[in-house]
Amino acid sequence: MAADTVIGTGLVRHGGRKFSDYLVFNTDHKVIGIQYLVLAFTFFIIGGLLAELIRAQLAAPNNQVVTGSQYNLVLTLHGTIMIFLWIIPAFVGAANYVVPIMIGANDMAFPRLNAVSFWLLVPGGLLMLASFAVGGAESGWTAYPPLSVTTPVGQTLWALALQFIGFSSIFGAINFLVTVFNLRAPGMSLTRMPLLAWAIVATSLIILLGTPVLSGVLLLLIFQRLLGAQFFTPAGGGNPLLWQNLFWFYSHPAVYIMILPGFGIISEVLPVFARKPIFGYKLIAFSSMAIAVFGFLVWAHHMFTSGMDPFLRVPFMVTSMIIAVPTGVKIFSWLATIWAGKLRFTTSMMFALAFISMFVIGGLSGIFLASVPIDIHVQDTYFVVAHLHYVLFGGSVMSLFAGLYLWYPKITGRMLDEKLGHLHFWLTFMGFNLTFFPQHLAGLQGMPRRVYTYAPEFWALNLISSLGAFLMAIAVLPFLYNALRSLVAGRVAGPNPWRAFGLEWTLSSPPPIHNFPTPPVVEGDPYGYGERPVPGTTVAPAPGVAGGE
Amino acid sequence: MKHVDPTKEALQPHRYPGVRTYLLVFAGLAILTFIEVAVSYITGGLKVPLLILLSAMKAMLVILFFMHLRYDSRWYAFIFFAPLVLVIPLIWVSLIR
Amino acid sequence: MSDTTSTLAAHGHPTSATGLDSAKLGMWLFLATEVMLFSAMIAGFLDMRGRSPADANHVLNIPVTAVNTFILICSSLTVALSVASIEQGNQKRLRTFLLLTLLFGGTFLSVQIYEYNALISSGELTPWNSLFGAGFFAVTGLHGFHVFIGLIWCALTIFWASRGKFSAQNFMRVEVFGLYWHFVDVVWIILFVLIYLM
């Protein structure tokens, strides 16, 4: 295709040859993936600084770091940014880069739509930051009325920001679904494609069907705020539970959006560093789909104490417990995968192993919360905050890092430094547990969430938590230094530094702009460790050395 | 996995309806609309079920014929109708007092 | 094609592992999202309706809206005929029927706006003076917005048609536009009954 020899100079380009290519409307999925990751990381830092502000305020009771109103703004933006501008775009970015190559395609099905999806995050992100600067978005990321109806103008900006971000998400989901269904290379049947592709399909289905409902309810909120329509306020005859039902109908499946790609990544990482085929491929693939479907039937477990019809609590408790089963299937499959494996404790593998244990802790606290008699005591306490951070940080973020350490060499052509990687890992792991484990106890002892001060009896737990948070902040530094330095000074990675299966490892690092010169023909699934030789490598592998070569 | 060129899908011998079918569908839609308005003036328990039935018939005429769902791959029908499974609990639970 | 378009999308029909056309598949997936969006709005409308007096919709002008509904159905017919035309390679009829779609769709929207204006300026029904009004304007307003987007898309399609972009072998973009337009019609078919007649 002539495009290879044309160097873009305009605002619309294809391919990442030079730095400015990454600043324009670029239709190459690899460029877009990097754009997503850089944007996401920027917001990770911003959201993280907001978290540090929260923990600074809560380091002691009656602290004066921020006022109550400012505190509400900080916690709202922390949650909203971490969900919508960090973890989801980060997973989308990683998937954008890797998935088309994994399935043997040369790009996504709709490359221009792909670029649009990324660029929609720019006004979305700016509006979100504006809502912080202007103030007013103080009702938590869950924005319950009546508070969210009466807060100042920043709340409207917050809602508008989410609309942009929602569109980005939906277009991305459509793109991923068509890409995975239609652009698989010859020989790659659905039961031979990498599990990350299955995970992305499940994630995209949730985005497809859930996000529009969020968009709808935000529209109702904007209508009420701008036109005085009384949808949600009892004084005007409206119904605050209407917000809660429509909001959670999306926002519960949203948590599966935030974890399924991570599950997919773990399924990719473990076989590589245990040098064993994945156990239970079909179980894992189908359990992802089961989570996607069932995830839509549990939402009212966020409303057990809302005053909704008490009868509803029973079916939602049942469905909320059932949904643990497909996830449990995955956990056991992953354990069976690494069982008796030849483990290489690379940084990627460390994060993957930590994921399994941390996510299980989060899952267990989730089962507690699914039980109505327990939930009515711990709803809106720090027990919930502990749960959500164990699954979202211990789960989602750790799995994301496992993937980034795995694919960094592919994306950049350089190896990350493993010593710095291990430092990043251990500081993160210790900091994370110090921050959030005590919160289980605080919650069980009755400390409410979303409070800017607390009774003195909670001081010790909060102080430990805040010290942990400080450690988590420090932990980011070796990662940033490593990621940036290795770009120029890292050891050159070949096409397949990990000696892994998977089509992405048959290409150069980084891959050519149009990926595959001729469509690859696929003859097996990407997990044949010990069953057949890794393509492109010599037969006898060296004993497990971190780094691979 | 057999590799199917979708140009086959586009170039298949014409299975899409012709002008006559479209005009018949249009006539059906117009008549049903007229009946709907008439039904809206009645009172009693039959009114709402009738209106639901009539509008469903109109919707199906547009979906099956104008949108080619009757002639295209079953997958498109699945994609369009499967979400309704989720719509039912959404609306039902939202309306419980 | 410029260097910015994908190596795959040469002109309409890249290979597809499922045999389904990517553009059409993408549009049906998009319509699934629209089903969910309007379902959420309808849930909101029904909640507000349930908290309003039973005769709340009697301020609405059923005869005018019935005619308007018929006009929108006409626009669906003309879109279907435009697709049938280009299937036969008839460029002139393609443009004619698309123009008629634009006309009918534009009329529908104009009548809607006229009705809105009448209701709001007379104070009979506004988004802020009644729950029914809130639900009414939210859901029909969103629908009207979709009609508006459809009109722009229709105009663009006419423009591309006049540029010779379509032929009997390559008209997927017209069909995809048609799917969107028909869906907007289906939503109105439901809303007309739900809001005006029940």
Alpha-carbon separation of residue A301 from A143, B83, C36, C153 (angstroms): 17, 21, 21, 42
Q: Could you tell me the two tokens for C70? A: 């018929």
Contact by Cβ (8 Å): A139, A76:
yes
DSSP A224-286: HHHH---SS-GGGT--HHHHHHHHHHHHHHHHHHTTHHHHHHHHHHHHHHHTSPPS-HHHHHH
Q: C21-197 in CATH: which number?
A: 1.20.120.80
Confidence of residue B15 (pLDDT cuts 50, 70, 90): confident
Nearest CA in chain A to C18: A182
> Cis ω on the peptide bond leading into residue A511 (within 30° of 0)?
no
CB atoms < 10 A from the CB of A7, how many? 11
Which 8-state DSSP code applies to residue A295? G
pLDDT by residue (tens digit) across A66-124? 999 999 999 999 999 999 999 999 999 999 999 999 999 999 999 999 999 999 999 99
DSSP A490-508: SPBP-S-TT---SGGGGS-
Centroid of chain to Cα C26:
17
Which 8-state DSSP code applies to residue A542? P
pLDDT at A533: 84
pLDDT at A521: 86
Interface check for A212 against chain C (CB to CB < 8 A): the answer is yes
Interface check for A394 against chain C (CB to CB < 8 A): the answer is no
pLDDT by residue (tens digit) across C97-140? 999 999 999 999 999 999 999 999 999 999 999 999 999 999 99
Q: Do B97 and A189 lie within an 8 Å CB cutoff? A: no
> Please, where are the H alpha helices in A103-194?
111-134, 147-150, 154-182
Residue whose C-alpha is closest to residue A383's, from A430, A463, A446:
A446
Interface check for A17 against chain C (CB to CB < 8 A): the answer is no
Please count the residues of chain C.
Answer: 198
Among C24, C29, C81, the residue with its CB nearest the CB of B22 is: C81
- Rounded Cα–Cα distance for residues C131 and A118 (Å): 38
Residue whose C-alpha is closest to residue B51's, from A274, C193, A253, C188:
C193
Q: Do A6 and C137 lie within an 8 Å CB cutoff? A: no
Average pLDDT, chain B: 89
pLDDT at B12: 54
| N- to C-terminal Cα separation, chain A | 35
Q: Could you tell me the two tokens for C129? A: 């003076």
Contact by Cβ (8 Å): A435, A31:
no
H or E stretch covering A521: none
Q: Do A8 and C4 lie within an 8 Å CB cutoff? A: yes
Confidence of residue C146 (pLDDT cuts 50, 70, 90): very high
C45 to chain B, minimum CA–CA distance in Å? Answer: 10
Residues in chain A within 8 Å Cβ distance of B86: 209, 296
pTM of the model: 0.94
pLDDT at C14: 55
Burial category of B18 from C-beta neighbours within 10 Å (exposed 0-12, middle 13-18, buried 19 and up) = exposed
- Rounded Cα–Cα distance for residues C131 and C112 (Å): 20
Q: Which residues contact A465 (CB under 8 A, 6 or more apart)?
A: A55, A58, A434, A435, A436, A438, A439, A442
ipTM reported for the complex, 2 dp: 0.94
| CA angle in degrees (0–180, nearest 5) for A77-A80-A86 | 110
Among B10, B39, B80, the residue with its CB nearest the CB of C172 is: B10
Query: Given a contact as 3+ CB pairs under 8 Å, which chains touch B?
Result: A, C
pLDDT by residue (tens digit) across B48-90? 999 999 999 999 999 999 999 999 999 999 999 999 999 999 9
Q: Could you tell me the two tokens for C127? A: 């988004």
Q: Do C19 and B76 lie within an 8 Å CB cutoff? A: no
Residue entry with tokens 């069909």 = C175
Q: Could you tell me the two tokens for A445? A: 């002892």
Sketch the domain layout of chain A as residue ranges. 12-506
Residues in chain A within 8 Å Cβ distance of B1: 184, 186-190, 192
Q: In 3-state terms, chain A is what percent helix, strand and coil (to 5)?
A: 70, 0, 30
Contact by Cβ (8 Å): A220, C55:
no
Nearest CA in chain C to B60: C186
Burial category of A476 from C-beta neighbours within 10 Å (exposed 0-12, middle 13-18, buried 19 and up) = middle
Residues in chain B within 8 Å Cβ distance of C81: 19, 22
Among A106, A178, A236, the residue with its CB nearest the CB of C7 is: A106
| N- to C-terminal Cα separation, chain C | 52
Residues in chain A within 8 Å Cβ distance of B89: 296-297
Using CB atoms and an 8 Å cut-off, which of residues 2-31 of chain B contact chain A? 3
Using CB atoms and an 8 Å cut-off, which of residues 98-117 of chain A contact chain C? 105-112
pLDDT at C13: 47
- Rounded Cα–Cα distance for residues C24 and B6 (Å): 11
pLDDT at A8: 64
Centroid of chain to Cα A1:
35
Nearest CA in chain A to C8: A106
C50, pLDDT greater than 70:
yes
Mutation to test the C interface, candidates A219, A221, A246, most C Cβ within 10 Å = A219
Q: Residues in chain A with pLDDT < 50?
A: 1-6, 541, 545-549
Residues in chain C within 8 Å Cβ distance of B27: none
- Residue C170 pairs in a beta bridge with C167
Residues in chain A within 8 Å Cβ distance of C47: 231, 239, 242
Q: Which residues contact A176 (CB under 8 A, 6 or more apart)?
A: A95, A99, A108, A200, A201, A203, A204
Residue whose C-alpha is closest to residue A75's, from A52, A94, A98, A59:
A52
* Torsions phi, psi for A544 (to 5 deg): -55, 95
Radius of gyration of chain A, Cα coordinates, nearest whole angstrom: 23
Mutation to test the B interface, candidates A211, A249, A311, A312, most B Cβ within 10 Å = A249
Report which residue type is found at A213.
V
Residues in chain B within 8 Å Cβ distance of A209: 83, 86
Written out in words, the top-level CATH class of the domain with range A12-506 is: mainly alpha
Contact by Cβ (8 Å): C86, C177:
no
Query: Given a contact as 3+ CB pairs under 8 Å, which chains touch C?
Result: A, B
Compute the count of residue pairs across chains A and B with CB atoms less than 8 Å apart. 28
H or E stretch covering A13: strand A12-13
pLDDT by residue (tens digit) across A484-494? 999 999 999 99
Contact by Cβ (8 Å): A8, A21:
yes
Residues in chain A within 8 Å Cβ distance of B93: 245, 300, 312
Q: Could you tell me the two tokens for A262? A: 């991570």
Please count the residues of chain B.
Answer: 97
Q: Which residues contact A451 (CB under 8 A, 6 or more apart)?
A: none
Q: Could you tell me the two tokens for A145? A: 């009325």
CB atoms < 10 A from the CB of A373, how many? 9
Q: Do B1 and A188 lie within an 8 Å CB cutoff? A: yes
